[in-house]
Amino acid sequence: MRASPARASPGKLTGINFAGDAGIKPCLLAPIERWRGPSSAERRAGSAPFPRARGPTTMRVNLPVTGRECPVGADERLISTTNLKGVITSANDAFCRVSGFAHEELVRKAHNLVRHPDMPESVYQDFWDTLKAGRPWMGVVKNRCRNGDHYWVSAFVSPVFQAGEQVGYQSVRRQATPEQKARAERLYARLRRGRSVPGGRLRALLPWVTGIAAAVLGVAAGAGVATGAYATGGAAAGLALLAAGYGPWCQARRNARLEARSRAIFSNDVGAETYGGGPDAAGCAVLALEMQESRIDALQTRLSALMDSLADEARGAGEAASTNRRAIDGQRDDIDQVATAMNEMSATVQEVARSGNEASEAAGQAAREAESGHGVVTSAGRAMTQLAAEVHEAAQAMDRVDADARAIGKVLEVIGGIAQQTNLLALNAAIEAARAGESGRGFAVVAEEVRALALRVSEATGEIEQTIDRLTGGSKAATGVMERGERSARSVADEVTRAVSAFEAVQAAVGRIHDMNAHIATAAEEQSATAEEINRNVQRVNGAVGTTADQAEASAAAAGRLVEMVDELQGLLRQFR
């Protein structure tokens, strides 16, 4: 958490501006707010209150602490990234191992989760001021583990930019040396007591003061003894003093230039004290070298991590390409099978088209035959209707014959009666002629002839009656046959009518079948064309699959070469460590 800037108290040295000819930039030794911190017993118990800073914010206090150190390996790099608010967005395995936190316990949590209460607030104030100005920061940091232990690291933190815009921070931490930890322990205890960083400027001024004093004394000695016997000795003493002061003065100028160049790289008195033993020219130079080394180490570490990820991705890409190649080979086999099936289907469709055409032609022939049968049945129907009418007329004629026969029978009955009456009359005449004797003999002959004629008439009438009876019986039988024939003819006519309707339905069905067969034939031809097109497309896809397989093989080979290049780059990076 960002702390408030420290304020200078009255009477305290806040800065020395000694630019002069040496070009030294001002060194501001800001006083630190006094805070003695909780006692060791209170920190271990986890019950100590943490005093509020006199700024707008307070520093998070993580308790309890055990005082045990968790070592960091010489080759270990603790890497994490945060957003602009200090919330962790990523953490590597080494950070999780040393801190004791699981990855999910760190991500999306504030990075001050690992802050140790022994770290002065002013260090984090400088930390945030530097980062928010867009510059990297480096320092020796004591962090707290999850169980209360602590670990020391040399931390290099730099802003992260994307498309020219700052989006967060990255921190690469490595093992702190025993000397760095010892200096940091002493300095941070001093800062927690409210004291400032020891003034390296005063030590840096000593060569300047020595040289100037020697020069002044030399001039004074030469001027004060310019007469008498002491002139020569005074001049010599003055020159000696000037010579003695010139060396420190030149060294001071070199130190000033070295310090200016070092501070141009990274200016931080706390860092100069912890890394270089003090904020003088030598300490600033050591800090600048450590800063550059940390910058390179951070770059190498991130590059190594990225190359590890790149190697993993390349291996994954190679495996995926190999898997794709196998899948493509299987797909090629499937496509070959599809092509074979499409060829078979195309042949089948063509056969269906031919069968459809033949069925359509057969249906057309059936339609024509059905139409012809319809005409025949229609003609038969008309003939049966005509036959029924004629049979009906014949039956009526037979009825009339029967009626005439009955009329003749009646006439014959009259004739028979007349014949019987004539026979009786002839018999009576014969009797009378017999009574008349000889005179009646002629009349008797006539009477006998009449009687014989009456008998023949009676016999003929009987025969005629028998004939008429037979005619009447035959007429009645013929009438019954005619009636049955009429009924049969009408029944046949009705059946013929239904047959005509059935033929019409068959004709319509055959017409529909013909149309459907025509559609089937057309659809089969279209399907055959489509199957041919699909077959051509399958062949093109097969060719494309072959090209894809070659590309997959090339991708696998490229991934293998990429892995080799990553290994080579990692070897080159290891040469710089």
pLDDT of res. 8: 34
Query: Residue 520's closest CA among 355, 347, 346?
Result: 355
Taking the alpha carbons of 530, 533, 537, 539 in that order, is the dihedral positive or negative?
positive
**DSSP one-letter code for 107:** T
Can you give the pLDDT at residue 431?
A: 83
- 380 neighbors 496 (Cβ within 8 angstroms): yes
pLDDT at 49: 34
Confidence (pLDDT) at 208: 47
Pick the CATH number of 32-195 from 3.30.450.20, 3.50.50.60, 3.40.50.2000, 3.30.300.30: 3.30.450.20
What is the per-residue pLDDT for 215? 52
270 and 197 in contact (C-beta within 8 Å)?
yes
Q: Tell me the Ramachandran region of residue 544: left when phi exceeds 0, alpha when psi lies from -120 to 50, beta otherwise.
A: alpha
pTM of the predicted structure, to 2 decimals? 0.49
Which of 205, 214, 206 has its CA nearest to residue 243? 214
Superfamily of 329-575 according to CATH: Methyl-accepting chemotaxis protein (1.10.287.950)
Q: Which two tokens stand for residue 100?
A: 């004791």
Q: Can you read off the two tokens belonging to residue 201? A: 């400027």
pLDDT for residue 280: 78
**359/59 Cα distance (integer angstroms):** 96
What are the C-alpha distances in Å from 480 to residues 413, 457, 486, 529?
A: 27, 33, 10, 71
Contacts of 288 (CB under 8 A, 6+ apart): 261, 262, 263, 265, 266
Q: Under 8 Å CB-to-CB from 524, ≥6 apart: which residues?
A: 349, 350, 352, 353, 356
Q: What's residue 572's pLDDT?
A: 59
**Cα–Cα distance for residue pair 274/123, rounded to 1 Å:** 12
Instruction: Copy the structure tokens of residue 86.
Output: 């200090």
pLDDT in tens, the chain (577 residues): 333 333 333 333 233 232 333 333 333 223 323 233 334 443 343 333 333 333 334 567 898 999 999 999 999 999 999 999 999 999 999 999 999 999 999 999 999 999 999 999 999 999 999 999 999 999 999 999 999 999 999 999 999 988 889 999 999 999 999 999 999 999 999 999 988 666 544 454 445 455 555 555 555 555 554 444 445 555 555 556 555 555 666 766 776 776 677 677 777 888 788 888 877 777 788 878 888 887 787 777 777 777 777 778 878 877 877 787 787 777 777 777 877 877 777 777 777 777 777 777 777 777 777 777 777 777 777 777 777 777 777 777 777 777 877 788 778 778 878 877 887 887 787 787 777 777 777 777 777 788 788 788 778 878 887 887 777 777 777 777 777 877 777 787 787 788 778 777 877 877 788 787 777 878 777 777 887 788 788 778 777 777 877 777 787 787 778 777 777 666 656 655 5
Tokens encoding 496: 């013929």
Amino acid 102: pLDDT: 97
Sign of the C-alpha dihedral, residues 86, 88, 92, 98?
A: positive
Would the CA dihedral through 410, 416, 422, 424 be positive or negative? negative
Q: State residue 145's pLDDT score.
A: 98
Domain chopping of the chain, boundaries:
32-195, 329-575
CA separation for the pair 450, 433 (Å, rounded): 13
The residue type of 364 is G
The answer to whether 122 and 33 have CB atoms below 8 angstroms apart is: yes
Q: Which residue has the tokens 């003939």?
A: 383
State residue 392's pLDDT score: 77
